[in-house]
Amino acid sequence: MGFFSFGGGEKEERSLSMQTEAAFTNGDSIALDSATPNNALNLPSVFSAMYVIASSLGQLPLYVMRREGESVRKVPDHPASSLLSLEPNQWQTSYKWRETEQFRCLGWGNAYTQIIRSRGKVVELRTLKPWQTELMYRIDVNGRKHYYYTSYDEDESITVQLEDMIHIKDVGYDEKVGKSRISQQADALGWALSMQEYGKSFFGSNGRPTGAVSPKMELNSESWSQFKSMWNKAASAMSSNSNRTMLLPAELSYQSFTIPPEDMQFLDSRKLSRSEIAAIFNVPPHMIGDLDKATFSNITEQALQFVKHTMMPWIVSWEQEIDRKMFSNAERQAGYYVKFDLAGLLRGSPKDRAEFYRGMIEAGVYSRAEVRAFEDMNPADGLDEMVISQNVKSVRFMDAEADLKVDEAKKGFQPPAATN
């Protein structure tokens, strides 16, 4: 694969992705064959867990910010701002771009977005499929490694340099590429797939276990052929009429081969697999439909834990990767960075928000005008001043009142009369 040539001449080209895959499996492909990103998506709990993380990240507002001294402000006129917050390319909105890339990262371990630049400015963010993209390196004649990405499809193959690729990685053993958690937990997910396949097969046969029909007497060739023909017709009729019963002649006996679902605790096993999948993706069970142990109080607490322990690691990973790839060294030194707004995920009920805002206003942290902005309400006159809890008076008024009291105390102060 000769997509890129370095000036020093090339000696060898290798795929880092292929090497790490082999190193992880040690040549044993049994676990990887049991569950793959494609067939694992057939499990509703896997799809739900991946979707709830991807959609949660996609819905967060993403802004270009600039820190200037002690002040911080949004920079909507930066060239990267509209790409990150509105339209990264002609096919996707910002929401769909981030949702798609996060979904791919959870399934395939890596998400790739190519940065297209024109005259030094970012003009487009183009997604690349992780199953068609590899991190490669060449060893030149001097023995030095040069890393780059290659991506291919049915039309073309492209080479992308490291600084032009936003690469989001899932947890893995290699610092250069992520590892699919589906592959890492292939046995557990393969077991869940087997349970689902068993349920499909069992209920597809109208809930009847498979078995053997044996005659109680010897059958000649003609009788055997006649019996098979009658049995096939009866079985076919049964498959399309689930409420009918097959009658066997007295000379035949039936013996079941499979274990009934109640004996193998089929429903309990499905619940266990659902809990394990929630643990694999680090999402609260109630978010993927497991409400067995859910209560109103612990769902509220789990929602907060979801933001802190599930979403925050992904958000930090996105912010840091975008910062180092989208901005030049000069821009980063000038204070430019990106920031996700978590207010949407932390947004509680109207009652909870009212109590929170009241506390922040009375503590002098938020102004009433800022609260209206947080709630997407129009500005109102006279609400910009900071207030504190004592009768909700403005800070300036409280300071003036305190100064007045001091002045009055000074005027009314009479020194004690001298005594002989």
Same domain flag for 85 and 6 = yes
pLDDT in tens, 81-101: 999 999 999 999 999 999 999
For residues 159-178, average pLDDT: 92
Domain final residue pick, 309, 331, 347 = 347
Is the residue at 68 inside a domain?
yes
Same domain flag for 355 and 268 = no
Is the residue at 236 inside a domain?
no
Same domain flag for 292 and 353 = no
pLDDT-based confidence at residue 420 (cuts at 50, 70, 90): low
pLDDT of the residue at 294: 56
Is the residue at 34 inside a domain?
yes
What is the pLDDT of the chain when averaged over all its residues? 77
pLDDT of the residue at 29: 38
pLDDT in tens, 47-63: 999 999 999 999 999 99
Which of 40, 120, 41, 122 has the alpha carbon at shortest distance from 78?
Answer: 122
pLDDT of the residue at 105: 96
Instruction: Classify residue 76 as exposed, middle or buried by CB count within 10 Å of its CB (0-12, 13-18, 19+).
Output: exposed
Q: Which residue did the predictor score with more confidence, 29 or 141?
A: 141
Is the residue at 370 inside a domain?
yes
Is the residue at 368 inside a domain?
yes
pLDDT in tens, 258-309: 555 554 444 445 555 778 888 889 998 888 876 666 565 667 777 888 898 9
Same domain flag for 311 and 361 = no
Same domain flag for 45 and 169 = yes
Where in the sequence is the domain holding 398, given as residue range(s)? Answer: 348-412
Q: Per-residue pLDDT for 359 more than 80?
A: yes
Same domain flag for 392 and 255 = no
Is the residue at 232 inside a domain?
no
Domain final residue pick, 347, 382, 397 = 347
Is the residue at 289 inside a domain?
yes
Same domain flag for 352 and 315 = no
Number of structural domains the chain divides into:
2
Same domain flag for 75 and 135 = yes
